[in-house]
Amino acid sequence: MGCVAISYGLNLIQNIEECISKLGGISQFIPENSIVFIKPDLTLPLGPPVTVQPQALGHIVKLCRDMGAKEIYIGFNPFDGISSKQVLKLLGLNFYLEKLGASILTLEDEPYSSIQIENHIFFKELFVPEKLIRSDVFISIVAPRTDVFGEFALGLKNYFDLLLDTQKQELFKSGSLNGLLDFYKKYPPQLTIWDAMTIGEGQGPFNQKAVPYNLILASADLLAGDSILIKLMGYDPLQVEFMRSANTNQIETNNLEDITIVGENVANHCKNLKKATSSSRNISSSLDLIEERPCLSCQICLRYTLDFLYRFLEKDFKEFGGISIFLGKFLNKLTYTIKNIGILFGDCAISSNLQIQFANPKKKTLFKFPGCPPLNLRSLEKFCLDFKENLPFLEFIEEFIRRWTLGRVYKQSMRNRSSNMENL
């Protein structure tokens, strides 16, 4: 039976201490001379609620050191060419964590080992960081939020930044978080901490609101804790796809009635948070979306891209004349009058180019976002370069991308990519 500890209050450190004490104390999790691998939720350098608070991560490192841990590794592999070193630097965490005695891994450059998964859900073969395999203790620290991909970014989603980039692409293409259950089955964390002092609501991770909860949760059962967080956010855990899949595959406890709560009463802290949507329809009057049977992964990637762009540029796009986006595979000829910029988003739309006839070709530009799925910061960077003369605010986004990817070599896909932009 899963046990989840919950503490409430304005003091983050005190909440963490109380939670761990309710579970029997930190000595239950960190043997002396152990090697500890900590996976913090630091996908992007955007700060809470997208990432864990520095004090939460720092305090866990300190507790491990106080218990006599021989080595404390901190590792994560950000998606799409973002540098983990840059994430830590931009959040001001690198010197702070090293001073506390942690060894920061550049996980994107660390060796991985192939692990075969028995009774797999998605990954027959999983590539796992060797430092994690060789560790005695695995700790996951989570920043709970809603997200365009998988509805909820919780303990299970925190495995995403341990995958190799190629396997992240595979998972995205599936449109589901279910594949991360294979990782969880093989390497469940001994301790998970959910930093729920604030929880992200809405279009995570790029455009969401921080909702105060002033809670810390802790558990040795990741799925039990995820279930409680989903309940706290106003939803039934068994209406969430990865929770249903975990139940179907008989992976530990996630039924609320089977979970023991120590500390706060869950009912006293439940709120009805707005979930993210993967649809890009009706985002703005400056956007026309033309779609034909797009896969879920393309919809998710497009929504991520537009959430990022429209967070800063909705007024600019409207004044410039707007954009038209083509999504999916167009099997029948289509005649369309595009706005000032046309975008073929994803390989399916690009391959449909000959089927699309444009009624107003003069002085219009067609831009291509290649990929299957098309989640690619380099394409977004090129979009900024090509159009920042007309949309000056794109230079601000371009600077974001350059800073995030500094120090990480971009690995081009095995397939040759076509040119991004062409005049109609």
- 222-232 vs 241-248: helix crossing angle, rounded to 10: 140
Alpha carbons 167 and 252: distance in angstroms, whole number: 24
Residue 394 covered by a domain? yes
Do residues 20 and 154 share a domain?
A: yes
Segments forming the whole domain that contains residue 381: 287-423
Are both 36 and 135 inside the same structural domain? yes
Asked if residue 264 and residue 226 are part of one domain, the reply reads yes
Determine the Cα–Cα distance for residues 215 and 249; give it in Å rounded to an integer. Answer: 30
Same domain, 256 and 403: no
Q: Give the CA diameter of the chain.
A: 71
111-118 long-range contacts, Cβ below 8 Å, gap at least 24? 112/164, 115/186, 117/182, 117/185, 117/186
pLDDT, tens digit, 9 for 90 and up, residues 121-148: 999 999 999 999 999 999 999 999 999 9
Q: How confident is the model at residue 417 (pLDDT cuts 50, 70, 90)?
A: very low
Domain check: are 311 and 245 in the same one? Answer: no
pLDDT digits (tens, 9 = 90+) for 236-266: 999 999 999 998 888 866 678 889 999 999 9
Q: Which residues contact 258 (CB under 8 A, 6 or more apart)?
A: 1, 2
User: CATH number of the domain that 125 lies in?
Assistant: 3.40.50.11440
pTM above 0.75, yes or no: yes
Q: Contact, 141 vs 56, CB < 8 A?
A: yes
Tell me, yes or no, whether 353 lies in a domain: yes
Helix (H, G, I), strand (E, B) or coil at 57: helix
When divided into structural domains, the chain yields a total of 2
Parallel, antiparallel or unpaired: strands 421-423 and 365-369:
antiparallel
The tens digit of pLDDT for each residue in 186-212 reads 999 999 999 999 999 999 999 999 999
- Among 240, 269, 298, identify where a domain stops: 269
Nearest in space to 178 (alpha carbons), one of 122, 252, 115, 236: 122
